Each structure stands twice: as structure tokens, then as C-alpha cells.
Amino acid sequence: MSDRVSVTGRRSLALIVLGVVLALAGLACAYVRRELAEPEAFADRAVEALRARRRADELQMICSRPGPTPTSTIGTSICSAMKSR
């Protein structure tokens, strides 16, 4: 009887592990389908990334100029905040 319980326990554990692995694989596939395979969402993220890079380049150009540096709405220097990164 002890062997039968042990085999049943092992099978249950194996099925639980298999279920978790399949659930994770399903979540990964759903993510890929929803976030990466849709052209509109991918294009929107690409455009935003390019805009962010352009803003960073413009800010770096402004901060490299001699003279006073621009300040944020709370009165701190934007360029000093950029240098701390």
C-alpha cells in the first residue's frame, strides 16, 4: 500500500509541475502575441523610443553650451540632473 501511495504522490507532483510549465509557456506565448506580434503596438513603441532618444540628444546639446543652463519647473538645473545619471 505504501508503494501505491508513493507512486500516486509522484504522479500528482509530476502533473502539477507539468501544469505550471504549460501555464508559464502559455503566458509567454500570449505576451509575444499581444505585445510583439501586433504591428501597431510595435510601431508605437518604436516611435516613442526614437522620440525619447531625440529628446535626450537635444538636452545633451543644450547642456553642452556655455552659459546659463535651463531650469525645470521646480527650479533645479536640468543639466545637473542629467549629469547625475
What pLDDT, in 10s, does the model give residues 37-70?
778 878 888 899 999 989 888 888 877 777 766 6
pLDDT value at residue 38 = 78
- DSSP assignment of the chain equals -HHHHHHHHHHHHHHHHHHHHHHHHHHHHHHIIIIIS-HHHHHHHHHHHHHHHHHHHHHHHHHHSSSPPPB-TTS-BHHHHHHT-
Q: What pLDDT band is residue 84 in, cutting at 50, 70 and 90?
A: low
